[in-house]
Chain A
Amino acid sequence: MAQVTLRKVVKKYDEVLAVRGIDLDITDKEFIVLVGPSGCGKSTTLRMIAGLEEISGGDIAIGGDVVNDVPPKDRDIAMVFQNYALYPHMNVYENMSFGLKLKRTPKDEIDKRVKQAAQILDITELLDRKPKQLSGGQRQRVAMGRAIVRDPKVFLFDEPLSNLDAKLRVQMRTEIKKVHQKVRTTTVYVTHDQVEAMTLADRVVVMNAGLIEQVGSPNDLYHSPATKFVAGFIGSPAMNFIPCHVEQAAGALRVRLTDTLSFPIPADRTARYTPCVGKTGLVLGLRPEHIAETRPHIEPNQHDFEILIDVVEPMGMETLVYFTIAGEEVCGRVNPNAGATAEKPMKLRADLSNMHLIDDSTGKVL
């Protein structure tokens, strides 16, 4: 089967570096998601794997063979595009069989594969319709069907759900995951939506400004981000970043946010953070779910503080509260029944056991 390897891959457009030398090993049958803001080079990377863009440097190997100069049709890949790119003059059956026909696959074999793919995707009754007569979600299925019938080494998805409405997107996301569980083909999936990345991926590759920031399982990225960028990009609402410094008091470390507000650093992190004492340009990273309302029972590393709430956003299952610490807007997630009111002080509880200390000058999580 097929693993995909990228070695020092560079893409240059005239003088602009879109991809600045990335290394990536994708194992066989793995579902990899490339995620990042627009312009980070994720689509370019995918298109280089597809062979739609020439690479300016480095090597790309599919199934062990370097494919730098191999045209797309000989790379044994299939791609699903953001706007589906279905052939408008062909019906669904012809769309799905086009690639096989060009390869001169026997007719009954084509028929078998198309029917099988249609069954997997639940589009059997649409086979003689034209793309025009299909809804967005159905078109998306056909685009996937066209990829599946080819039985390629690698599936490439370029933001396939961006054109769908929110509800359908969630539905198709599950659908894509199901399909991958059925056909188990190595998949590279590009999206700018971190929720999509988290839910689909075996491993997520976070890209920024043409470089890979971090590669890891969704949980790894969420709980132990390597950089401030990853910490801020993964998770919604985003992680809070509050300027701070670390001070030593009575053998223990404290993270000081303002003159009046400081928290003790968990004991198991003392050794790690001791070199930071007195350092400037530090940022405390704390996810909104680690700032909640106060409760009677106190766990280790949890600390209460009182603050003036600026804005309250009820979400139903939870309520988001916004307040200001050291000039930064901070978000917390509290119980809807906790009685959060805008412009009223509220007693909150910070859970420091999940804190991150970031060096703002390098962007690295310490």
Chain B
Amino acid sequence: MADAAIATTTATTIAGRKYGSISRDRRWALRWSYFFLVLFAIFFLTPPVYMFITSLKTSAEISAESNPWWVYSPTLANYIELLTQNQFLTFFRNSAIVAVLTVLITMAISVIAAFALARMKFWGSATLATGVFLTYLIPETLLFIPLFKMFAWVNETLGIQLMNHWWTLIILYPTLTVPFCTWIMIGYFASIPKELDEAALIDGATWIQTLTKIFIPVALPGIIAATIFCFTVAWAQFLYPLAFTTSTTELVLPVGIVTTLIKGDVFNWGQIMTGALLGAAPPLIIYAFLMDYYIAGLTAGATKG
């Protein structure tokens, strides 16, 4: 009798607590996630907001002892000055050409390489695939000195001067982007069922047709993800252009802004901020448009769809 009573009470408490705790756990989980999301948002959005505010100020207002988070007399002078300046437009053009060509070269190489490594089993293919990944792990800071030596050697033996040309960057950037994009694409292609290429093979497709008519359309989200990554790397790269280009006509945006808008110890903060903001715009616009594809591409293979 007593036992039965205890059993009933326990049962109700267990049932009651369990029922309540699920929704309470969920509520707390949500609160915590919002807390951290807001925290991160503030942390990451502060610099661009500060850049934007500063870009609307005159030099006098920037150096004045007023509230740095408020614009008292907003002006577009920095924007107008920068966009009418030939130098800035040259940087922008250089950056755009370099980034677009880097993307084209990288995708052409890595899609074909990834297809071969993912699907054609040949002697050493697995080692090669790992090798591609290891290449990506070598930081560029280690590479620019040997690259310097190589350029000097090319100049001595072939008489081709690779230093101080914006187009040199088109040769350099793929050394960073190809390994990573190939690695992403290997993973993506590997998630495509083997039967699909066998079906294509039986239908009479050649390897090239299988790639162009089956793999590329099916792996489009992955290809777009790799393209965005590649564009971002090429657009934002700082070390290589700093090391390999010097003349103002050959500079790309990130290095151009820093080298031309800082004169000695004079920092033209208004224009630096404006330039940085304008420079950050293209990747931002591309992300905004292709966000869904990008996420689909990066999470592919996580679940079988």
* Interface pair A73/B198, CB less than 8 Å apart: no
Q: Is the interface of B mostly helix, strand, loop or mixed?
A: helix
B residues less than 8 Å from A82 (CB atoms): 195
Asked whether, in the complex, the Cβ of A87 is within 8 Å of the Cβ of B218, the reply is: yes
B200 surroundings in chain A (CB, below 8 A): 87, 98
Alpha-carbon gap, A86 to B196, bound state (A): 7
Determine if B74 is an interface residue (Cβ-Cβ < 8 Å). no
**B202 and A73 contacting across the interface, CB-CB below 8 Å:** yes
Q: How many A-B residue pairs have CB under 8 A?
A: 56
Is A27 an interface residue when CB atoms closer than 8 A count as contact? no
Task: Tell me which residues across on chain A come within 8 A of B196, comparing CB atoms.
Answer: 85, 87
Interface size on A, residues (CB 8 A): 23
Instruction: Tell me the bound Cα distance from A85 to B195 in angstroms.
Output: 6
CB <8 Å contact, A102 and B205: yes
User: Is residue A99 within 8 Å, beta carbon to beta carbon, of the partner chain?
Assistant: yes
- Is A99's CB under 8 angstroms from B217's CB? no
Contacts of A85 in B (CB 8 A): 193, 195-196, 198-199
Other-chain residue from B193, B198, B220 in contact with A79 (beta carbon distance below 8 A): B198
Q: How far is the CA of A255 from the CA of B245 in the complex (A)?
A: 97
Query: Within 8 Å of chain B (Cβ to Cβ): is A78?
Result: yes
A83 interfacial by beta-carbon distance below 8 Å? yes
- A98 contacts which chain B residues (CB < 8 A)? 200, 203, 205, 213
Q: Find out whether the CB atom of B195 lies under 8 angstroms from the CB atom of A72.
A: no
Q: In the complex where A52-B198, A102-B209 touch, is A83 in contact with B193 (Cβ < 8 A)?
A: yes
How distant is the Cα of A283 from the Cα of B44 in the complex, in angstroms? Answer: 78
Q: Mark B194-229, 1 if CB is under 8 A from A, else 0.
A: 011011111111000100011001101000000000
B212 to chain A, nearest CB (A): 12
Nearest Cβ distance between residue B187 and chain A, in whole angstroms? Answer: 18
B residues less than 8 Å from A87 (CB atoms): 196, 199-200, 214, 218
Q: How many residues of B contact A (CB 8 A)?
A: 17
Distance of A82 Cα from B199 Cα, bound (Å): 11
**Complex contact B217–A89 (CB within 8 A):** yes
Enumerate A71-120 residues with CB–CB distance to B below 8 Å: 71-73, 77-79, 81-83, 85-89, 98-99, 102-103
What's the Cα separation between A146 and B199 when bound, in Å? 10
Contact B205 A73 (CB under 8 A): yes
In angstroms, Cα B205 to Cα A150, docked, is 14
A101 to chain B, nearest CB (A): 9
Q: Please, which residue of chain B has its CB at the minimum distance from the CB of A81?
A: B195
- Residue-wise, chain A 13-34 has the 8 Å CB interface mask toward B (1 for contact) of 0000000000000000000000
B258 to chain A, nearest CB (A): 45
A79 with B205: in contact, given A87-B218, A88-B218, A89-B217 (CB under 8 Å)? no
Which residues of chain B are within 8 angstroms of A71 by Cβ–Cβ distance?
201
A202 to B268, CA, bound (A): 87
Annotate A137-161 by CB proximity to B: 1 below 8 A, 0 otherwise.
0000000001000100000000000
Residue among B193, B195, B202, B213 with the highest chain A CB neighbour number at 10 A: B202
Residues of A within 8 A of B198 (CB): 50, 52, 72, 79, 81, 85
Chain A residues with CB under 8 Å of B193's CB are 83, 85
Nearest CB in chain B to that of A102: its residue: B204
Given the contacts A83-B193, A87-B214, A73 and B204 also touching, CB distance less than 8 Å? yes
Pick the contact of B195 from A83, A99, A103 — CB < 8 Å?
A83
B209 touches A81 (CB 8 A): no
Contacts of B214 in A (CB 8 A): 87
Chain A nearest CB from B256 CB (Å) reads 42
A72 near B202: Cβ-Cβ < 8 Å: yes
Q: Mark B133-164, 1 if CB is under 8 A from A, else 0.
A: 00000000000000000000000000000000
Complex CA distance for A81 and B203, rounded to whole angstroms: 13
When distances are taken between beta carbons in the complex, the residues of chain B under 8 Å from A73 are 201-205
Question: Chain B, 29-44, contact with A by CB distance < 8 Å: what is the 0/1 string?
Answer: 0000000000000000
Given contacts A83-B193, A85-B196, A88-B218, contact A50 B205 (CB under 8 A): no
Contact A99 B204 (CB under 8 A): yes
Kindly state the separation between the CA atoms of A279 and B191 in the bound complex, as whole angstroms: 57
Known: A81-B195, A83-B195, A87-B196. A99 touches B218 (CB 8 A): no
Closest B residue by C-beta to A78: B202
- In the complex the two chains form, is B201's CB within 8 Å of A72's CB? yes
Residues of the B chain whose Cβ atoms lie less than 8 Å from the Cβ of A81: 195, 198-199
Q: Nearest-CB distance from B267 to chain A (Å)?
A: 52
Q: Which residues of A contact B218 (CB under 8 A)?
A: 87-89
Give B201's nearest chain A residue, CB to CB: A72
A51 to B214, CA, bound (A): 20
Among residues of B, the one whose C-beta sits closest to the C-beta of A71 is B201
Q: How far is the CA of A102 from the CA of B201 in the complex (A)?
A: 11
Per-residue 0/1 for B224-242: is the Cβ within 8 Å of any A Cβ (1 yes, 0 no)?
0000000000000000000
Instruction: Find out whether the CB atom of A52 lies under 8 angstroms from the CB atom of B204.
Output: no
Instruction: List 15 additional A-B contacts (Cβ < 8 Å) besides A86-B199, A99-B202.
Output: A52-B201, A52-B202, A72-B198, A79-B198, A79-B199, A81-B195, A83-B195, A85-B195, A87-B199, A87-B214, A89-B220, A98-B203, A102-B205, A146-B203, A150-B203
Contact surface of A with B, Cβ cutoff 8 Å? 50-52, 71-73, 77-79, 81-83, 85-89, 98-99, 102-103, 146, 150
**19 examples of A-B residue contacts, CB within 8 angstroms:** A50-B202, A52-B198, A52-B202, A72-B202, A73-B201, A81-B195, A81-B199, A83-B193, A85-B193, A87-B199, A87-B218, A88-B218, A89-B217, A89-B220, A98-B213, A99-B202, A102-B203, A102-B209, A146-B199
